[in-house]
């Protein structure tokens, strides 16, 4: 027993030395925010949210009534970690709303509303799930009103985690779990979804005096979350399994629904192929006349004739398109909903969902989800994105963006703990601005009850007390919401025919993440990229990048990759600049920022806290991020999985080194103030003289990830 233990210690000590400096305690303390706190981005927001009317889709973007762009930067609100709550108590909701607004949040996605009370809004006391809980709805009303007051829009989800009961009249209710895929074609489940939508959206909020269907602070109504026939087909869940599955999410469908799908498929084939083509297909498959065409399982994809595979893919596409067309009509025409609508999401970057994206064009928005190194994939965690730009979140998310439709990202994150997670927030904010996307909502923020379970990172996704991702979040909010990074000058469009879109479903994973032969994924790092059509011939393919770094056509972003696998992303715009990745391996000088650091891997963000560019701004925000863990985190021997999540306090690797600022027009001195977990000064700052517009100062000697910089002129 001693030998493995000693080996673990040796590897662990070597790993710490290789990765960076010592981890030191630093915790976020939002309840300590007071008048001396220096960071407050709530002035970015129109207050109350929706003050000038409903957001709408126009010319491929989300706009206000006067046609001006409305970018949305925010979080999901969930309650998976201990001590957290999705719908805060009324005496805490206003504090939570202010905390989010101060960090730059202007949209929240309320995901699991269809849970039973006390987590969601469905009455838990009944034998069905067909009534709302009055107490929970009162808290929800107060919560949405508090968010609205602070200029924060809401995204309401309809079907996420509803667990059906015997009184609902759902066949095999105890087997369907969250009924993924079934909600798209089963009449009873569709009826129940519409009933819930009617109850929620016609509900009148007494604190805003408005029904939710007529509430301009409701930016988006989403129908389904991560729910598609194509995902179920690809992962062999459209057939029943003999053994029960405990996880309610992504369950195989029971036999009753499999038989229903068989009947629907045969009817679709008869309608779309006709007798002669059906007879020919049966002959090709060696089936006797009149026999049913079998639905394919994933193991049969490769060998299946093109006509058979494409006929089944067309069937699922038709089911999903009909579903979304009907639901869009129900929301808009029957209920009179004025908010933007969203169907479901392109949610797995390692398989193709193009037919599902096509089906979602029946709604107002197109959306995607991606996670970098999700903790359910042990063995590949702890790989830096900057070394793998082709599979980056930027590319995997952006593949679903459609010309003429606003594009939103309603879930994304770089999972905790991860030695490289500091790359995620600043990189995506910059490239989302380059791609000219409309919304980014991080998963997730979990409001903590008063003084309960604070001071450490609760799970893989919770940002609420993450001292690295949440401080980075503020600088990134400025980058995205102000469009500090200019949209790419050139737009690259690619088309698919229905047949080529279907065939992407059986391409090997190695063809991803684009599943589009010859189209260079690095185009997403250089230009705006959109899908033009799913019913048009292909367009010319752009040339791949031939040099490194891969530079945006605006000249503001670059992604440096090397044979030594020491990638680096740089952001160099007038108001926001950053060095992200293996900073110490390179000598990069941005127009206003240079950082000489001791850390092997980190992110350094500099952004203006006023509307002026960095050159003339009076206040700047410097955010530094490296590793973050909880006290007592225990890794496996190769640092790919945390076997023990740890406890309070959270500990960070301070970014140590020297920062140089230059090009500060007319500046005479600079004062750099280290901030605490509430954004307050940690200690008295000493002014640093500016000579010829430049100054130098050290960072990291005071343990903090963020600094306020005041420029005197």
Question: Nearest-CA neighbor of 313 among 403, 238, 404, 227?
Answer: 238
Q: What is the pLDDT of residue 563?
A: 87
What's phi and psi for 32, nearest 5 deg? -95, 5
Alpha-carbon span 629 to 343, nearest angstrom: 36
> What is the rounded average pLDDT of the residues 662-675?
97
Q: Which of 10-14, 541-545, 574-578 has the lowest mean pLDDT?
A: 10-14
- Cβ neighbourhood burial of 275 (10 Å; 0-12, 13-18, 19+): exposed
Contact predicate 556/488, CB 8 Å: no
Alpha-carbon span 407 to 438, nearest angstrom: 6
> What is the rounded average pLDDT of the residues 372-384?
67
Query: Which of the two residues, 4 and 136, has the higher pLDDT score?
Result: 136
Q: What is the pLDDT of residue 19?
A: 58
Q: What is the pLDDT of residue 380?
A: 52
> What is the rounded average pLDDT of the residues 6-24?
50
Q: What is the pLDDT of residue 450?
A: 77
pLDDT at 13 over 80: no
Q: What percent of the chain lies above the pLDDT cut of 70? A: 96
Q: What is the pLDDT of residue 375?
A: 64
Query: Residue 321: which H helix or E strand, with range?
Result: helix 306-329
pLDDT band at residue 56, thresholds of 50, 70 and 90? very high
Q: What is the pLDDT of residue 6?
A: 32
Mean pLDDT (the chain) is 94
pLDDT at 379 over 50: no
Q: What is the pLDDT of residue 92?
A: 96
Query: Could you tell me the two tokens for 392?
Result: 């980056």
Domain ranges of the chain: 492-533, 550-712
pLDDT at 209 over 90: yes
Q: What is the pLDDT of residue 376?
A: 59
pLDDT at 546 over 60: yes
Q: What is the pLDDT of residue 328?
A: 98
Q: Which of 231-245, 333-347, 431-445, 516-530 has the lowest mean pLDDT?
A: 231-245
> What is the rounded average pLDDT of the residues 637-666?
92
Greatest CA span in the chain, whole angstroms?
A: 89
Contact predicate 223/196, CB 8 Å: no
Contact predicate 315/265, CB 8 Å: yes
pLDDT at 5 over 50: no
Query: Could you tell me the two tokens for 321?
Result: 């398109």
User: pTM score, two decimals?
Assistant: 0.96
pLDDT band at residue 157, thresholds of 50, 70 and 90? very high
pLDDT band at residue 604, thresholds of 50, 70 and 90? very high
Q: What is the pLDDT of residues 454-505, one digit of tens each?
A: 899 999 999 999 999 999 999 999 999 999 999 999 999 999 999 999 999 9
Q: Which of 559-563, 593-597, 620-624 has the lowest mean pLDDT?
A: 559-563
Q: What is the pLDDT of residue 381?
A: 57
Q: What does the angle CA 252 – CA 258 – CA 264 come to, to the nearest 5 degrees? A: 135
């Amino acid at each position: 027993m001693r030998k493995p233990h000693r080996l673990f210690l040796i590897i662990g000590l070597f790993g710490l030395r290789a990765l960076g400096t010592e981890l030191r305690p630093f915790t976020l303390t939002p309840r300590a925010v007071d008048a001396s706190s220096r960071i407050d981005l709530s002035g970015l927001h129109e207050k109350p949210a929706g003050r000038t009317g409903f957001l709408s889709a126009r010319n491929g973007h989300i706009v206000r009534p006067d046609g001006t762009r409305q970018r949305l930067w925010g979080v999901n609100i969930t309650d998976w970690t201990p001590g957290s709550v999705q719908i805060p108590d009324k005496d805490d909701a206003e504090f939570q709303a202010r905390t989010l607004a101060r960090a730059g949040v202007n949209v929240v996605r309320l995901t699991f509303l269809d849970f039973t009370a006390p987590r969601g809004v469905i009455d838990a006391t009944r034998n069905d799930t067909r009534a709302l809980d009055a107490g929970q709805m009162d808290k929800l009303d107060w919560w949405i009103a508090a968010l609205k007051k602070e200029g924060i829009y809401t995204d309401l989800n309809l079907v996420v985690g509803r667990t059906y009961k015997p009184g609902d009249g759902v066949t095999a209710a105890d087997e369907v779990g969250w009924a993924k895929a079934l909600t798209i074609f089963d009449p009873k489940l569709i009826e129940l979804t519409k009933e819930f939508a009617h109850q929620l959206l016609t509900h009148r909020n007494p604190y805003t005096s408005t029904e939710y269907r007529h509430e301009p602070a409701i930016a988006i109504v989403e129908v389904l979350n991560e729910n598609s026939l194509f995902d179920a087909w690809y992962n062999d869940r459209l057939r029943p399994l003999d053994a029960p599955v405990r996880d309610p999410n992504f369950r195989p469908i029971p036999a009753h629904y499999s038989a229903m799908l068989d009947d629907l498929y045969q009817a679709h084939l008869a309608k779309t192929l006709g007798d002669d083509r059906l007879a020919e297909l049966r002959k090709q498959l060696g089936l006797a006349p009149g026999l049913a065409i079998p639905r394919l399982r994933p193991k049969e994809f490769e060998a299946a004739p093109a006509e058979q595979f494409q006929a089944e893919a067309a069937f699922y596409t038709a089911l999903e398109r009909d579903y979304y067309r009907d639901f869009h009509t129900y929301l808009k025409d029957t209920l009179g909903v004025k908010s933007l609508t969203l169907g479901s999401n392109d949610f797995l970057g390692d398989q193709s969902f193009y037919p599902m994206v096509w089906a979602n064009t029946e709604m107002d928005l197109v959306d995607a989800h991606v996670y970098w190194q999700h903790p359910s994939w042990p063995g590949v965690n702890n790989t830096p994105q900057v070394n793998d730009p082709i599979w980056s979140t930027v590319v995997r998310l952006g593949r679903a963006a459609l010309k003429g439709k606003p594009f939103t990202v309603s879930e994304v994150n770089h999972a905790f703990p991860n030695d490289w997670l500091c790359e995620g927030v600043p990189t995506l904010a910059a490239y989302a601005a380059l791609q000219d996307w409309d919304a980014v909502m991080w998963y997730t923020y979990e409001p903590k009850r008063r003084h309960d379970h604070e001071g450490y990172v609760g799970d893989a996704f919770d940002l609420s007390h993450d001292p690295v991702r949440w401080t980075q979040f503020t600088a990134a909010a400025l980058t995205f919401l102000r469009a500090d990074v200019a949209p790419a000058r050139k737009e690259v469009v690619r088309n698919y025919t229905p047949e080529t879109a279907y065939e992407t479903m059986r391409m090997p994973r190695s063809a991803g993440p684009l599943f589009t032969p010859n189209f260079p994924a690095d185009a997403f790092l250089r230009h705006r990229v959109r899908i033009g059509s799913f019913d048009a011939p292909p367009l010319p393919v752009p040339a791949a990048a031939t040099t490194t770094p891969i530079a945006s056509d605006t000249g503001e972003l670059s992604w440096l990759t090397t044979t030594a696998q020491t990638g680096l992303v740089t952001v160099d715009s007038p108001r926001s600049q950053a060095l992200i990745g293996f900073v110490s391996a390179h000598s990069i000088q941005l127009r206003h920022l240079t950082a000489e650091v001791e850390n092997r891997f980190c992110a350094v963000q500099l952004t203006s806290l006023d509307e002026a560019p960095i050159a003339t701004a009076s206040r700047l925000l410097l955010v530094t991020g490296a590793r973050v863990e909880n006290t007592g985190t225990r890794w496996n021997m190769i640092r790919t999985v945390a076997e023990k999540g740890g406890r309070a306090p959270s500990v960070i690797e301070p970014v140590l080194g020297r920062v140089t600022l230059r090009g500060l027009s007319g500046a005479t001195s600079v004062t750099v103030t280290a901030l605490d977990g509430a954004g307050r000064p940690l200690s008295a700052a000493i002014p640093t003289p500016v000579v010829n517009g430049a100054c130098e100062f050290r960072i990291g000697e005071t343990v903090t990830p963020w600094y306020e910089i005041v420029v005197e002129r």
